[in-house]
């Protein structure tokens, strides 16, 4: 039984390491990595509940979309730039 607990703990530890590395390599910016335009937040309720520090963003200029780390909000942030996922479809 002890070996099962040790193996399970190592699996959890590897999973935590992978999550930490993936989180660290996500860009923490509101600037598009391809064209340097501002990224627009896409509301994603499931992602927001499961992983709050990660956001789904979309570039209006080139169409890039992807996950980014939530950067600190700048002063004067406007909610009007937020596009809900339902409005896109
Ligand atoms: Zn772009």
Tokens of 14: 């590897």
Ligand 1 centre to CA of 34 (Å) is 5
User: How far apart (Å, rounded) are the C-alpha atoms in residues 68 and 72?
Assistant: 12
Ligand 1 centre to CA of 55 (Å) is 16
- pLDDT value of residue 29: 87
Tens of pLDDT along 9-22?
Answer: 999 999 999 999 99
User: How far apart (Å, rounded) are the C-alpha atoms in residues 87 and 71?
Assistant: 24
Number of domains in the chain: 1
Ligand 1 centre to CA of 83 (Å) is 16
- Element spanning 20, H or E: helix 2-25
The yes-or-no verdict on residue 86 having pLDDT over 60 is: no
Measured between its terminal Cα atoms, the distance across the chain in Å is: 51
């Amino acid at each position: 039984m002890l070996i099962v607990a040790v193996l399970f703990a190592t699996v959890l530890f590897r999973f935590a390491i992978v999550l930490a590395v993936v989180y660290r390599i996500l860009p923490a910016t509101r600037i598009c990595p391809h064209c340097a335009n501002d990224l627009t937040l896409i509301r994603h309720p499931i992602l927001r509940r499961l992983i709050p520090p990660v956001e789904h963003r979309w570039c209006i200029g080139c169409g890039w979309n992807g996950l980014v780390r939530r950067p600190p909000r700048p002063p004067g942030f406007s909610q009007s730039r937020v596009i809900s996922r339902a409005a896109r479809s």
